[in-house]
Amino acid sequence: MEVELESSGRARGIDARSLEQLRTMGTVEGCSTLLLFFGAMPLKYLAGYPLAVTIVGAIHGVLFVLLCALLVRGIARVPLAPSLASLGIAAAIVPFGPFLYDRKLRALLG
């Protein structure tokens, strides 16, 4: 996707507010993934507290669905190419993926 630049060097036609919401949700969802994998799961399997995964997993699930909804909305509002939005969903599945994906979103602002 080719983006026109304004004289300030920022991308033209980008809804910066929607993009910022998407970036924030990506960071929050990425942190919840790390908390689930490196906090709740060790508590479940090493310390015998399965409730940790139940609680953190439910929160993470809601955040993942919200992130996916923002990525779909981003196709129209930001605008994101559908392939870039799909990459965002794939990145959200991998630990540290949302933080790497954020670089691509930040690049849209120029």
97 and 30 Cβ atoms separated by less than 8 Å: yes
pLDDT at residue 29, as a whole number: 97
- Counting residues of the chain whose pLDDT is more than 90, the rounded percentage is 84
Would the pLDDT of 49 be above 90? yes
Taking residues 80-107, report their average pLDDT.
94
The DSSP secondary-structure symbol of 78 reads S
**Cis-peptide into 79, omega within 30 deg:** yes
pLDDT at residue 110, as a whole number: 74
Taking residues 12-25, report their average pLDDT.
91
- Counting residues of the chain whose pLDDT is more than 70, the rounded percentage is 89
Domain ranges of the chain: 16-108
